[in-house]
Structures are given as structure tokens and as C-alpha cells.
Amino acid sequence: MYHHSLDPPEEADANARMRVLEDKTMEEVLHQPDWPIGNQAERRKPSLAGVARIDNIPYSLTRPEVIQMFGRSGNLIPESQCPVHIIMERSTGKTMCCFVEFEDRESAQAAVDRLNATTMSQTGPRMGNRHIDVTLSSQQELMQALFPRAKCVDWVGDRFVARDKLPTEWWSTGFDGFITDEELFCVIRHAKEPHRSAFAGKVPQRTYESLISTIWKFPWYATSMYTVHARNQLFDALLAMVELLYHRIGNSRTVGLDYRLVSEMMQTGLRCPGFNPRMKFAMIEAGRDHLTLQRMSRDALSLFPFDTLTWLAPYDVASLAFYGSLMSRGRASQTEKQGLENRHTNSNWIRPYGPQLFAWGEKAAKSKTFAEAVAYELGIFRSIIIAGHGNDGSHSRVSSIGTAPPSSPHRAAPPSSTVPHTASNTTRPGNIESLNTYVDSWSNTTDDFLPPYHTSSQSWDPSVSTSATNSRQTALSPSICQNRAPRPN
């Protein structure tokens, strides 16, 4: 497990930070760079890692074997960032070649030279009973191998340059995404029915590793080049395969399929900047990671109100609580006109972020780019905090999208600890007296990938279960799987 051990902030520090936030003017509250919620995907930087390529590899090659071949002095990127990518042809499940990422190009060149120089003369390096070819490669070759169906794209490193189709490409429809729905369908099919593929049956873990590499190397930073639907398809594939892998491990023992692979898939989802907190909670619940579930705030993650927005690193607990309290007292209207559905259906249910649980409808998700969806949701977030600022906490106030801030520098209302509460255990973000119980889901860290909740470096063993987690060992709710937003009973 690649968890980070994090300590929650002291309550006194959080109280002091809250008092500073309460003294902000309305203009300061609406200053977007200070918002704790935004677009994490555009912050993902392109990789500058060096790359080595291995050809003629055995079909049964495993990633630990590749790491062992280069040795500890190979200077690979951290194992938590998926340094080994074994390319699989998604339609057939056939193993193709292997790419390995290093800290820089010089490290990759040194590793290739060392491996070729230490082998016996005139034989070349071997892996198993095969002679392999180890050469220096590039991020460009790696991205082309991972996304072969991306049309009208020229890769420069792991960045891409979209171009118009050539006159000889009259048959092409132009760029329409990095990965197709059909490719993801084939990946899931290989996991569901490995016996129907001559290759997937021999190496059952390959299809899971292929999806891990796809999500890690997907160009999330290019938010204007993929749709919300593409993001949803990647998440649905990951969620379905986590469930498949968990049940298959529980029902039978298969070489290559183990809980370590489940853990790696969940860590891939947790560190994905394109997935929102609702998705990450659904994935952890599907994988029955009891240790992480213990440290999560179920309401803070599963009822997160936005679809493409997420918490921004570094995480400021007090700022999240302050803006959460404003959201709990405000409400936006007229979102359905753009296809953004508010799936808050029970007016008697008190949610930690107010009466809103947004998700893009299927038709809108296919037409909206991720950047367009983020911009629209940021406008909604702004209107909600404007409405919440002018509310005393006794009821939700409606604000139309695009409401301008008042011209006078009014002080932002402090979070109320007297907000009506239902019988549920929902904890209001603005209730500073309850911050100690709520803070375990938000922890200060500079990690750009991990979501803001307290995690542990202890290894996950699904056989270990305490009384506190027994109630959470249930199957994933269909509402989470289908809508990525659980609905109350």
C-alpha cells in the first residue's frame, strides 16, 4: 500500500484559522485562487521521466520481474507512480512490449547501457528463455503505445498536439478522444471472461495492469480534449474491475491475482486527479479497504456536491470547513438547463454541503468537455457561497447562477453551530466544535494525488476487520455505481 501517514491539525490551530476566515470581506471570500475546491486535473503536470523499452518479452512477464532486472540502482520512478507499463492489445488481450520509466533520461540511458554491457557477449540480455531487446525510448513512444486509437494527434513527450486530418485521411473523423468505449469494453470483457481469450487466460493480471497504466498516463491536464463521459467511462471500468477482482480472489486462487493488485488499483483511483471524492469513496467501498474506510468521513466524501470539481491540494481543513458551511446554507437553481442534474431528492435529508448533489446527465456528459463542465460548476459554486453568505443558517437560500457580489465589503457570516440536524450522523463542516471528529477525513498534505482524508501506512489485509468496520462490509450500492452519487433511503 502506498499510503502516507498524516497527522490531523490541532483544534486550536483550526479555530484560529477559522477566525481569520470569518473576518474576510465578501470580495475576499469570492477570490477564486483562495477556494479550496476546484479543478485538480489541470494541475497534473506532464511527465519528464526517461523511458526504456523492452521488446520480445515473454507473455507471462510480470512487473516485479522487470523491476528486479534493472535492480535497486536503476533509479526508476517511485513504485507508487507505476514505473512499469506492459502494453496489452485491448481487443485481443495480447501482450506486446514493455516500457519502464526512470527519474530522468540520463538514468534511463545508464540503465540500458549497464544492462546491455553486463550480459554475455553476442547473446544479449535474456528474460526467462527469451532474448530481449532493451533500448532507450521516449514518452512519445509510450503514449502512442498506450493510446493507439487517438487520431489526428502528434505526441511531443507525453504532451500532444492536435492537428487537422491530412488530405489522404479522408476516411478519418478527426480527433474524437484518447480512448474509445469499445476499448474499455474489451478490457472489462477480458477480466470478466478470461477463458474466452487465448491470451487473457494465460496472464489474468494483464488486463488489470493495462487499465492501471491507462489511468496513470491519461493526459488529465488536457481538460479541453476529453469529455465528462470519457472520465466516467474510465471510472466505471476501474470500479467494475475492482469488484470483479475482489470477488474472484475470494472465490478462487489464481496466480497473479491477489490483494496487492486490488490495493494498487484502488491507489490508482485515489491518486487520479479527474475522479471526484464520491467516485473515490465508491471505489474504496467496492474494494472493502476497511483501514481506509475507518479513516474516511462517509458523508464528506459520498455526499460531495460536485461532479468534476474536487478538493485542491494542499488541503486547508479550516478553509474547507468554512466554505462547506457557506454551501450548507445556500442553494443554486436552474442547473438542469445545461444538463447538470441535482440528485438531492429528499428535502428532509440534511446533507453536509446543503441541498445539492450534482451529476451530469448522460447526454450532457457526452457533449461537455471536462473544462466546460468545470467552468460551469465553478459558477455554481460561486453562486452557492453568495447565497450562503447572506443566510443566517435557518433555511437554504436560492441564488441564480451568475449573481454578482455586493459592492460593499460585508463581512462573511461565521459558520453556525445551530444548523438543524436530522437523526443521521451527518457532521456539518462549519461546526467547529465537531472539527475533531470531522478532521480525520481532511489532512494537510502537499501530495497532489491523495484525497484529503487521514490515511495510514499500515498494509491492507481484508481478513482483518474490527467491529467498527463490520457494518461497512456490504456490496456497493447500485446508486453509487450507476450515478456516482449515493442516494439516501
pLDDT digits (tens, 9 = 90+) for 341-356: 988 777 677 778 888 8
Mean pLDDT calculated for residue range 154-175: 71
Mean pLDDT calculated for residue range 459-474: 36
Residue bearing the bigger pLDDT, 205 or 465: 205
Residue 45 CB coordination number (10 Å): 9
State the distance between the two ends of the chain, measured CA to CA, in whole angstroms.
Answer: 34
| Chain-centroid distance, C-alpha 73 | 31
pLDDT number for residue 158: 66
Which residues face 137 on adjacent strands? 51
CA nearest neighbour of 248 among 200, 184, 186: 200
Name the average pLDDT for the chain.
Answer: 76
Amino acid at 389: H
- CATH 3.30.70.330 residue spans of the chain: 50-218
CB 217 within 8 A of CB 158: yes
User: pLDDT class for 387, splitting at 50, 70, 90?
Assistant: confident
Query: pLDDT exceeding 90 applies to what percent of the chain?
Result: 37
User: pLDDT class for 264, splitting at 50, 70, 90?
Assistant: very high
pTM score above 0.95:
no
pLDDT digits (tens, 9 = 90+) for 1-57: 223 333 444 566 767 777 778 777 888 888 888 899 999 999 988 888 999 999 999
pLDDT number for residue 120: 57
Question: Is residue 392 over pLDDT 60?
Answer: no
Which residues face 50 on adjacent strands? 102
User: pLDDT class for 391, splitting at 50, 70, 90?
Assistant: low
Q: Which range, 272-281, 316-325, 419-428, is most confident?
A: 272-281
pLDDT digits (tens, 9 = 90+) for 393-430: 444 455 444 433 333 333 333 333 333 333 333 444 44
- 7-11, 90-94, 251-255, 430-434, range with the lowest pLDDT: 430-434
CA–CA distances in Å: residue 191 to residues 1, 62, 257: 23, 17, 11
- Give me 42's grid cell: 489541470
Pick the CATH number of 50-218 from 3.40.50.9100, 3.40.50.880, 3.60.70.12, 3.30.70.330: 3.30.70.330
pLDDT digits (tens, 9 = 90+) for 134-162: 999 999 999 999 999 888 777 776 677 77
Instruction: Give, to the nearest 10 degrees, the angle between helix 259-270 and helix 228-251.
Output: 160
pLDDT number for residue 119: 62
Distance CA 276, CA 305 (A): 10
- 155-159, 182-186, 200-204, 236-240, range with the lowest pLDDT: 155-159
Residue bearing the bigger pLDDT, 439 or 363: 363
CA–CA distances in Å: residue 369 to residues 39, 148, 240, 318: 13, 21, 24, 32
User: pLDDT class for 83, splitting at 50, 70, 90?
Assistant: very high
**Is the bond preceding 78 in cis, omega lying within 30 degrees of 0?**
no
pLDDT digits (tens, 9 = 90+) for 208-231: 999 999 999 999 999 999 999 999
User: pLDDT class for 180, splitting at 50, 70, 90?
Assistant: very high
SS3 for 358-394 is EEECHHHHHHCEHHHHHHHHHHHHHHHHHHHHCCCCC
Distance CA 278, CA 301 (A): 5
User: pLDDT class for 449, splitting at 50, 70, 90?
Assistant: very low
- Give me 186's grid cell: 474489451
pLDDT number for residue 10: 53
CB 292 within 8 A of CB 263: no
Question: Is residue 488 over pLDDT 50?
Answer: no
SS3 470: helix
Question: Is residue 315 over pLDDT 90?
Answer: no
For cell 532493451, what's the residue?
134
- Give me 476's grid cell: 456497493
Sign of CA dihedral 201, 206, 211, 212: positive
